[in-house]
Amino acid sequence: MTDQVPAPPELLGRPRPIPTYRDHPATTGCDIEGVDPAGARQSIGIVDSGEPVFLLFLSSSCQGCRDLWEGMDELRHALRPRVRVVVVTRGPEQEDAATVARLSAASDPGARGSGLGSGDRSGHGAAEVVMSSQAYLDYGVGGPPFYALTLGRDVRTEGVAWGVSETAASVLRALAGPDTP
């Protein structure tokens, strides 16, 4: 007689973001001040943008972030043009700006994971990239990979970003809510 392992409960069979302990979950969105990977000052308007903004908190050294960096093209296309996509890393005092620049470079627009850096909001261009340690504090992010979907000052959903398709599905579910434009 062979021992068989029972099937996991339905809840465990579905991939989903895992809640993490946080000092203060973000309940209000705020604008982000920082620099781009080249060191130029950058301001990301969230509060008065008039559109949903997807903030993806990543790091160049985070193993859990690797599939999100590589799948950025797929993620952008799943969310745009309805959602403005912004990648947030910690500031250059904590993050290697050259590596962030390399990861976010648009060397081949058709390649998977390329095309982050220019900030085109049309749905066909690149996502914005801002380096801001303060944004991690403002949004209560202990570490990457993490995401928050904002509409003005309202944080609609947030969580650990586990995988491209799972993260996109979570954001799209939040957008389908009854009071989201």
Structural domain including 94 reads 26-175
| Number of structural domains in the chain | 1
Q: Which residues of 78-113 are buried (b: 16+ CB within 10 A; e: fewer)?
A: bbbeebbbbbbbbbbeebebeebbebbbeeeeeeeb
- Greater confidence (58 vs 110) lies with 58
* Residue 15 belongs to a domain: no
Other CB atoms within 10 A of residue 16 CB: 14
Residue 45 is assigned to a structural domain of this protein: yes
Q: Mean of the pLDDT values across residues 92-107?
A: 83
CATH number at residue 105: 3.40.30.10
> Does 27 or 21 have the greater pLDDT score?
27
pLDDT (tens digit per residue) in 114-150: 345 444 444 444 678 999 999 999 998 988 999 999 9
Q: What is the pTM of this model?
A: 0.76
